[in-house]
Amino acid sequence: MKFIASILVFVIYQFSELKFMNYQLVIFLNLFLILSIGILHGSNDLVIYKKVTGVKWKYLIINYVLVGLLFFAAYFISPFICVLLFVLVSAYHFGEELYESDGLSFSWIHKLSLGLLIFLMMFVLNAAEFDIVLFDLTGTENSSILLISLTIASGLLYLIYLGATLLKKQVSVKVAVSQIINLAFMALLFYGLNLFTSFTVFFVFWHSLPSLSSQMKRLYKENKTWLKYVKDAAPIYMISLLGIAIGYVLTYNQTYFYHFALLIAIIVTVPHIIIIHKLYGDKQAT
């Protein structure tokens, strides 16, 4: 089912970029998906935090502030190290969600290797755009040889762990083949789309929508869970949109726009990753 959905997404985006839509409309579509589904999937952190910890939400706000200050300081000390850490943490989060949506629970290295492989494939297959973004954020020039080498190494690590899980019968051959086909299709998609669109499609259709489904199953038992989720998430969702809008107005066409966008992404994302990790219970394979 996921494979069929992926094909439909790929075809729609290919035709939208190459046939029916101009570049501005494609950007608008990407932003719409991120600001609607993407932001929504992380807007229920207060409810999740209270459910998994029993602690008042004010402590979550403190965590957001502390994470923001920590990464803010780290970014000015070393932008490259800050971006690298953020990519690694995000890679783990993406890998965790992909395994969770398949009903699998493995060790942190399994999750990290899968998420990192996806990130690196996206970067390698959109190397020219990645070089520009990396330089704007960190002032560092990308080494194509290093990036390709890391992608190959990450792929081998993933295959080794996948093979180990097959030998231990922790995963079926059917699931393993499905994962490999899914990764191959992601690579095809990343090759055919630009960097921003590649990230949008992965973030929304492979991450945010499955995450929304997982969250609702754990938070609610009654019917109409979508309406309940949206109602609970609405306050944080609206505040997030307002903050993004204000930041956009203040930094648009400024040299530090990318820096601001990155810091906002870090402040919002890192606490969310920790909360979702607690929600899933960190069930590691032994």
Tens-binned pLDDT, residue by residue, of the chain (286 aa): 455 555 555 555 555 555 455 677 778 888 898 989 988 888 887 778 777 766 666 776 777 778 777 877 888 888 888 888 889 989 999 988 888 776 666 778 888 999 999 999 999 999 999 988 888 888 887 778 888 888 999 999 999 988 888 888 888 888 888 889 889 888 988 988 889 889 998 999 889 988 888 888 888 766 667 888 888 888 888 888 888 888 777 776 666 677 777 777 777 787 788 888 877 774 444 3
Q: What is the pTM assigned to this prediction?
A: 0.85
pLDDT value for 214: 83
Q: Which residues in 98-236 belong to E strands, given as ranges?
A: none
Query: Which positions ≥6 away from 275 have C-beta within 8 Å?
Result: 45, 48, 49, 52, 60
CA distances from 91 to 88, 130, 215, 250, 258 (A): 5, 16, 19, 30, 20
Classify each residue of 83-104 as buried b or exposed e, where b means 16 or more C-beta atoms within 10 Å of its C-beta.
beebeebbbbbbbbbbbbbeeb
DSSP state of 171: S
pLDDT value for 31: 87
Residues in the chain: 286
